[in-house]
Amino acid sequence: MRPDTPAARWQSAVQNLLDIHRPEQAEQLVRQQLMRNPQDAVAHILLSFALYQQNQLETARETAQQALALNPAASEAFYVLFLVEDQAGQWPARASALQEALRLQPLNPKYQAAQAQLYLHQNQPAAAQQVAARGLAHNPAHAGCLIALADALHELQRWPDLAPVLQQLVAAHPNLPKAHQLLGREAMRQKHYAAAQAHFQEVLRLAPSDATALQGASQAIRRQLWVGRAAVWLDDYLTFISEGTKQGKLKAWGHFLLILIPLSLLCIPLLLFMGFEAAYWRLHPQVRRLRNRPDQALPYAQQTFWRYGPVAAFTLLLLAWLTVVFWLVVWLGVPESSLGPGLTGGLTAVAMAIWAAFKQASEQPLPEKPPLGKVLVAVLALAVSIACVSWPATWPYGPLGVLGLTSWVGFLAFRRARAAAQ
* pLDDT tens by residue, 354-407: 777 777 776 677 777 888 888 898 889 889 998 998 888 888 888 888 889 888
Q: Which of 147, 165, 183 is the last residue of a domain?
A: 165
Say yes or no: 46 and 76 in one domain: yes
Closest CA to 30 of 101, 80, 73: 80
Say yes or no: 348 and 202 in one domain: no
pLDDT, tens digit, 9 for 90 and up, residues 234-259? 888 888 888 888 888 888 888 888 88
Amino acid 223 reads R
Say yes or no: 36 and 159 in one domain: yes
Q: Which of 243, 273, 292 is the last residue of a domain?
A: 292
CA–CA distance, 414 with 399 (Å, rounded to integer):
22
CB distance 313 to 369 below 8 Å: no
Give the per-residue pLDDT at 242. 82
pLDDT, tens digit, 9 for 90 and up, residues 91-137? 899 999 999 999 999 999 999 999 999 999 999 999 999 999 999 99
Category of 60 on φ-ψ map: left (φ > 0), alpha (ψ -120 to 50) or beta: alpha
Give the per-residue pLDDT at 253. 87
Give the per-residue pLDDT at 139. 93
Say yes or no: 313 and 368 in one domain: yes
Does the residue 14 lie in any domain?
yes
Say yes or no: 201 and 329 in one domain: no
HEC readout, 61-73: HHHHHHHHHHCCC
Say yes or no: 115 and 88 in one domain: yes
Does the residue 268 lie in any domain?
yes
Does the residue 346 lie in any domain?
yes
CATH number at residue 93: 1.25.40.10
Does the residue 189 lie in any domain?
yes
Give the per-residue pLDDT at 281. 74
Say yes or no: 87 and 101 in one domain: yes
Does the residue 2 lie in any domain?
no
Say yes or no: 19 and 106 in one domain: yes
Domain count of the fold of the chain: 4
Is the model's pLDDT at 1 over the cut of 60?
no
Say yes or no: 160 and 23 in one domain: yes
CA–CA distance, 269 with 393 (Å, rounded to integer):
34
Say yes or no: 13 and 156 in one domain: yes
* Residue 295's pLDDT band (cuts 50, 70, 90): very low
* Residue 335's pLDDT band (cuts 50, 70, 90): low
Does the residue 58 lie in any domain?
yes
CA–CA distance, 149 with 116 (Å, rounded to integer):
8
Domain that holds residue 16: 8-165
* Residue 296's pLDDT band (cuts 50, 70, 90): very low
Say yes or no: 47 and 195 in one domain: no
Name the percent of the chain lying above pLDDT 70. 88
Say yes or no: 319 and 417 in one domain: yes
| Bigger pLDDT: 3 vs 185 | 185
Does the residue 130 lie in any domain?
yes
CA–CA distance, 49 with 23 (Å, rounded to integer):
8
CA–CA distance, 361 with 196 (Å, rounded to integer):
25
Mean pLDDT calculated for residue range 73-81: 94
